[in-house]
Amino acid sequence: MSAQILDGRHVAGEIESRLVRQIATLASEGIRPGLVAIRVGDDPASEIYVRNKARKAEELGLSGVELALPSRTSESSLLRELDRLNRDESVDGILVQLPLPSHIATETIIESIDPQKDVDGFHPSNVGRLHLGQPALTPCTPAGIIELIRSTGVAIRGLHAVVVGRSNIVGKPVAAMLLQSDATTTISHSRTADLGSITRQADILVAAAGRPLMIDASMIKPGSIVIDVGINRISDPATATTMLAHDQGKLETFNARGNVLVGDVDFGGAREIASWITPVPGGVGPMTIIMLMSNTVAAAMGRRR
């Protein structure tokens, strides 16, 4: 029996309905949460991401502002802009789209954002509070992963969760959140010896290593929940033929388009083993932006009440 699909769009829609009610309550009190999304330079992907975030904020009734700065913007100029936004009481959430141009120090910029407005959850203060189990604005993708797992109706408490990947953006924070939900949590990565022996113990498997199809069916525990965070594009025909042997749907997409997006998990094979699995795309991706909106609303409520 094939695994049930964890539809990120559906779960995000449920969260959006809850947010709309919260935003309406804030509006009745004369509060309109404000989000400012900043990008520096002309990277096409960053341009799309920032525009989509600002647009989604406006759709929900928030104030969404896209602030586009030229690539020649100096670090000091960006810091001055952030200082202005930190002091602006109409702004509840600030995010700076990464990556930044090489002449700007990412850590310096992140640390300059007011932690109470850090809706990406990257400020060291929020990172520290998360790992201490204290209230904090948490990174959006990990927060979305937890919501997806909860949407299955399976209690996290007491389960063994294995995270493949140790990034500061996904791997480490989602491991902390799983631990706080009373899962026994293991962090593994690309250098873990005999990775399959670890992943086969996972009641919950979060694949976030950024390596296409590195987790195959033999590495998955029967009946587990599989969350695939990877977004990898395959464009080589020989690679597609080999790697997509167990996923006829993806192979057909490749043949039609000349490329295809895949995750870190061999979906075709894993679907026959797991009880729940996220697709790529359409799984974790839609959760990230709605959790950003959720963080913005939480920031407004925390700062203004």
Mark residue 81 as left, alpha or beta (left: phi above 0; alpha: psi -120 to 50; beta: remaining): alpha
Above 90 in pLDDT, residue 45?
A: no
pLDDT, residue 141, reads 97
Mean pLDDT of 96-116: 97
- Contacts of residue 14, defined as CB under 8 A and 6 or more positions apart, other chains included, come to 151
Whole-number pLDDT of residue 237: 87
Burial class (CB in 10 A: 0-12, 13-18, 19+), 200: middle
Two tokens, residue 303: 């700062």
Residue 303 reports pLDDT greater than 80: no
51-90 pLDDT, tens digit each? 999 999 999 999 999 999 999 999 999 999 999 999 999 9
Please give the pLDDT value at position 216. 94
Q: Global pTM?
A: 0.94
Neighbouring CB atoms inside 10 A of 207's CB total: 30
- Read off the pLDDT of each residue in 141-165 and give the average, rounded to a whole number: 98
How confident is the model over 105-131, as a mean pLDDT? 98
Query: At a CB cut-off of 8 Å and minimum separation 6, what does 82 contact?
Result: 38, 94, 96, 109, 112, 113
**Which H helix or E strand runs over 25?**
helix 8-28
pLDDT tens digits along 226-270: 999 999 999 988 888 888 887 888 888 989 999 999 999 999 999
* Catalytic positions: 53, 97, 120
Q: How large is the average pLDDT for residues 131-152?
A: 97
Collapsed DSSP state (helix, strand, coil) of residue 203 = coil
pLDDT at 116 over 90: yes
Q: What is the SS3 assignment for 69-103?
A: ECCCCCHHHHHHHHHHHHHCCCCCEEEECCCCCCC
pLDDT in tens, 176-227: 999 999 999 999 998 999 999 999 999 999 999 999 999 999 999 999 999 9
Mean pLDDT, residues 275-298 taken together: 96
- Confidence band of 305 (pLDDT split at 50, 70, 90): low
Peptide bond into 99 cis (omega under 30): yes
Classify residue 22 by its DSSP letter: H
**3 state SS of 162:** strand
